[in-house]
């Protein structure tokens, strides 16, 4: 995650904050996490609930329904669960997250997501404190001062799972007890909430009825109008949906016979981000896997190539320019590429809710007539973002649904 270091120093100085005090101030801080979640409550709801989408937020909401023996099912558009969580076990000698990868929140967020008390976590994490990083603007390749790496780590101390992935975490702690309730290959195309019973149509012509619905699809899917709401969404809500930045992007992992690259290379881009990074960082792995994460305007130049092989070729050529042909020399020809920006049921990468107007976020969080509720990364009210934000929003929104709150 890139932040203009000098600007940040100035802002912090103006606010009179010390670096050690910064993380408390920053978004994703532990003190923004809820004391308890819906996992700690019991509910006596007699109606039928349908959850649209089996990503992290939909699965989390389902866990609460399962725990309380409430009648529910999950309609998932694709043939798998996890949404923007996905892992690959074939490219390297360690599992690779090809969707969400970093734990941006404080580790205690993992306990909150599991419904476990206390601050001691069970997972083994790698502190993402980089030591060898560079910047690249297309012509100049420059080492980053260690003080900048230290500052970034102190300001936003991120981590990664040591032998595991985000997908595994959600699979084991959240999906395990609810996956039998998922109906796959069922893209919802219409939600009619005009009557007492809600009617949901899927693209394959099925009609499902429910008393309440929780929609957990990405903001990209809502923007693309894949789902028709009857009555239509208000203009205010449409404006709020369209105001949210949801960058296109992809993640590429390439395998090499040698590690010729540093921990990370931050590439200069006009908007969004682009960076090469060592996916095996501190993993105790033998495989040399270099990632390329691109989100924002620079995605366009790759999308123009219109082929995964050509995207890889272009990435290797760029690395060759920096490392005098070393990338071509050591590339094994193996890669994985996940194009989230053009995936019909994702249509983008991630959102950063705290960058948007509170009024717009509030509009997105409101139910439609206390019948249709919304959860997912953008509905995170605890400023955690990413997977923790998505899971906690699942707990938050299902609580609202079960307690008939607007
Ligand atoms: C490349 C990339 C890197 C990321 N890196 C990080 C990271 O390092 N750390 C982090 O915390 N977060 C990261 N994120 C963000 C994180 O993945 C998301 O915040 C989180 O997974 C969102 O979960 P969700 O349940 O809100 O949405 P989703 O995961 O998008 O789940 C929505 C589900 O709804 C389904 N769906 C869509 N349309 C329909 C329909 N019409 N009918 C039925 N089902 C439908 C989808 O198939 C999907 O399963 C990253 C995301 C990407 C793409």
Boundaries of every domain in the chain: 33-82+171-244+351-402, 125-161+247-342
20 vs 154, higher pLDDT: 154
CA of 362 to the centre of ligand 1 (A): 20
Query: How much is the mean pLDDT over the chain?
Result: 93
Does the pLDDT of residue 127 top 50, yes or no?
yes
- Contact in structure between 274 and 300 (CB atoms under 8 Å): no
Structure tokens at 116: 């476990």
Nearest in space to 278 (alpha carbons), one of 141, 96, 107, 110: 96
Q: Is-same-fold flag (33-82+171-244+351-402; 125-161+247-342)?
A: no
Residue nearest to atom 20 of ligand 1 (CA): 387
Residues 293, 203: Cα–Cα separation, whole Å: 32
28 vs 318, higher pLDDT: 318
Model's pTM, two decimal places?
A: 0.95
Atom index in ligand 1 nearest the CA of residue 338 equals 1
**pLDDT classification of 402: cutoffs 50, 70, 90:** very high
- What's 125-161+247-342's CATH class? alpha beta
Does the pLDDT of residue 117 top 50, yes or no?
yes
**pLDDT classification of 354: cutoffs 50, 70, 90:** confident
**DSSP codes of every residue in 318-339:** HHHHHHTTHHHHHEEEEEEEE-
Among 3.20.20.140, 3.50.50.60, 3.40.630.10, 3.40.50.300, name the CATH number for the domain at 33-82+171-244+351-402: 3.50.50.60
How wide is the angle at C-alpha 315 spanned by C-alphas 314 and 321, nearest 5°? 90
404 vs 10, higher pLDDT: 404
Q: What average pLDDT score do residues 8-34 get?
A: 58
Does the pLDDT of residue 246 top 70, yes or no?
yes
Give the pLDDT score at 327.
Answer: 98
Give the pLDDT score at 333.
Answer: 98
CA of 2 to the centre of ligand 1 (A): 21
Strand 264-267 relative to strand 273-278: parallel, antiparallel, unpaired?
A: antiparallel
**pLDDT classification of 248: cutoffs 50, 70, 90:** very high
CA of 343 to the centre of ligand 1 (A): 11
CA of 164 to the centre of ligand 1 (A): 18
364 vs 18, higher pLDDT: 364
Q: What average pLDDT score do residues 156-162 get?
A: 94
Structure tokens at 15: 């606010």
CA of 85 to the centre of ligand 1 (A): 6
Residue with tokens 């994985």: 336
CA of 218 to the centre of ligand 1 (A): 6
CA of 350 to the centre of ligand 1 (A): 8
Residue nearest to atom 48 of ligand 1 (CA): 83
End-to-end CA distance of the chain: 34
Please count the residues of the chain. Answer: 406
Give the pLDDT score at 18.
Answer: 47
Does the pLDDT of residue 24 top 80, yes or no?
no
Residue nearest to atom 11 of ligand 1 (CA): 386
Which segments within 268-325 are labelled E, that is strand? 273-278, 288-295
Give the pLDDT score at 155.
Answer: 85
Atom index in ligand 1 nearest the CA of residue 221 equals 38
Give the pLDDT score at 73.
Answer: 98
Q: Which residues line ligand 1 (CB under 6 A)?
A: 52-58, 75-78, 83-85, 99-102, 104, 187-188, 216-218, 221, 226-227, 249, 251, 340, 345-346, 349-350, 376-377, 386-387, 390
Which of the listed residues 252, 350, 391 should we mutate to test ligand 1's pocket, taking the one with most ligand atoms within 8 A of CB? 350
Q: What average pLDDT score do residues 177-195 get?
A: 98
208-223 core/surface letters (b: 16 or more CB in 10 A; e: else): bebbbbbbbbbbbbbe
Give the pLDDT score at 27.
Answer: 65
Does the pLDDT of residue 266 top 50, yes or no?
yes
The burial of 14, by beta-carbon neighbours within 10 Å (0-12 exposed, 13-18 middle, 19 or more buried), is given as: exposed
Which of the listed residues 386, 389, 391, 397 should we mutate to test ligand 1's pocket, taking the one with most ligand atoms within 8 A of CB? 386
The burial of 18, by beta-carbon neighbours within 10 Å (0-12 exposed, 13-18 middle, 19 or more buried), is given as: exposed
Give the pLDDT score at 26.
Answer: 60
- Residue 388: helix, strand or coil by DSSP? helix
Q: What average pLDDT score do residues 153-157 get?
A: 88
**pLDDT classification of 156: cutoffs 50, 70, 90:** confident
Q: What average pLDDT score do residues 62-88 get?
A: 98
CA of 261 to the centre of ligand 1 (A): 29
Q: What average pLDDT score do residues 323-341 get?
A: 98
- Percent of the chain residues topping a pLDDT of 90: 89
Residue nearest to atom 12 of ligand 1 (CA): 386
| Lowest-pLDDT range of 9-13, 78-82, 183-187, 394-398 | 9-13
Q: What average pLDDT score do residues 376-398 get?
A: 96
Residue nearest to atom 18 of ligand 1 (CA): 386
Give the pLDDT score at 23.
Answer: 47
Count Cα atoms within 13 angstroms, Cβ side, for 36.
7
- Contact in structure between 84 and 340 (CB atoms under 8 Å): yes
Does the pLDDT of residue 198 top 70, yes or no?
yes
Does the pLDDT of residue 22 top 90, yes or no?
no
Does the pLDDT of residue 222 top 70, yes or no?
yes
Give the pLDDT score at 320.
Answer: 98
Residue nearest to atom 5 of ligand 1 (CA): 100
Nearest in space to 62 (alpha carbons), one of 71, 165, 85: 71
Atom index in ligand 1 nearest the CA of residue 378 equals 26
- Give me the residues paired with residue 376 across strands: none
Q: What average pLDDT score do residues 174-186 get?
A: 98
Which of the listed residues 83, 106, 156, 383 should we mutate to test ligand 1's pocket, taking the one with most ligand atoms within 8 A of CB? 83
Q: What average pLDDT score do residues 175-203 get?
A: 98
**pLDDT classification of 181: cutoffs 50, 70, 90:** very high
255-289 core/surface letters (b: 16 or more CB in 10 A; e: else): bbeeebbbbbbbbebeebbbbbbbbbbebeeebbb
């Amino acid at each position: 995650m890139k932040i203009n270091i000098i600007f940040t120093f100035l802002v912090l100085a103006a606010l009179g904050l010390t670096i050690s005090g910064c993380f408390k101030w920053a978004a994703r801080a532990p003190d923004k996490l809820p004391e308890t979640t819906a996992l700690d409550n019991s509910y006596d709801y007699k109606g039928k609930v349908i959850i649209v989408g089996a990503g992290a937020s939909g699965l989390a909401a389902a866990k609460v329904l399962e725990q309380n023996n409430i009648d529910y099912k999950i309609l998932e558009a694709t043939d798998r669960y996890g949404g923007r969580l996905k892992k690959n076990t074939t490219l390297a000698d360690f599992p690779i997250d090809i969707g969400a990868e970093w734990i941006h929140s404080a580790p205690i967020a993992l306990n909150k997501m599991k419904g476990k008390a206390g601050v001691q976590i069970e997972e083994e994490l790698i502190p993402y404190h980089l030591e060898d990083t560079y910047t690249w603007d297309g012509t100049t390749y420059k080492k980053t001062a260690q003080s900048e790496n230290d500052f970034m780590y102190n300001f936003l101390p991120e981590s990664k799972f040591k032998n595991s992935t985000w997908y595994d975490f959600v699979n084991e702690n959240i999906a395990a007890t609810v996956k039998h309730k998922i109906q796959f290959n069922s893209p919802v195309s219409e939600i009619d909430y005009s009557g007492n019973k809600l009617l949901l149509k899927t693209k394959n012509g099925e009609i499902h009825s429910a008393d309440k619905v929780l929609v957990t699809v990405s903001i990209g899917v809502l923007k693309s109008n894949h789902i028709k709401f009857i009555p239509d969404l208000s203009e205010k809500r449409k404006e709020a949906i369209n105001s949210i930045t949801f960058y296109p992007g992809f993640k590429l992992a390439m395998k090499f016979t040698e590690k010729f690259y540093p921990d990370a290379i931050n590439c200069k881009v006009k908007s969004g981000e682009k960076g090469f990074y060592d996916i095996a960082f501190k993993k105790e792995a033998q495989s040399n896997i270099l990632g390329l994460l691109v989100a924002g305007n620079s995605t366009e130049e790759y999308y123009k190539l219109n082929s995964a092989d050509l995207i890889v070729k272009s990435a290797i050529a760029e690395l060759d320019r920096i490392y005098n042909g070393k990338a071509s020399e050591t590339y094994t020809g193996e890669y994985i590429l996940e194009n989230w920006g053009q995936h019909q049921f994702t249509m983008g990468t991630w959102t950063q809710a705290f960058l948007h107007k509170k009024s717009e976020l509030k509009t997105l969080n409101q139910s439609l007539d206390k019948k249709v509720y919304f959860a997912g990364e953008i509905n995170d009210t605890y400023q955690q973002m990413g997977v923790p934000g998505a899971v906690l929003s699942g707990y938050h929104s299902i609580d609202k649904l079960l307690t008939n709150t607007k």
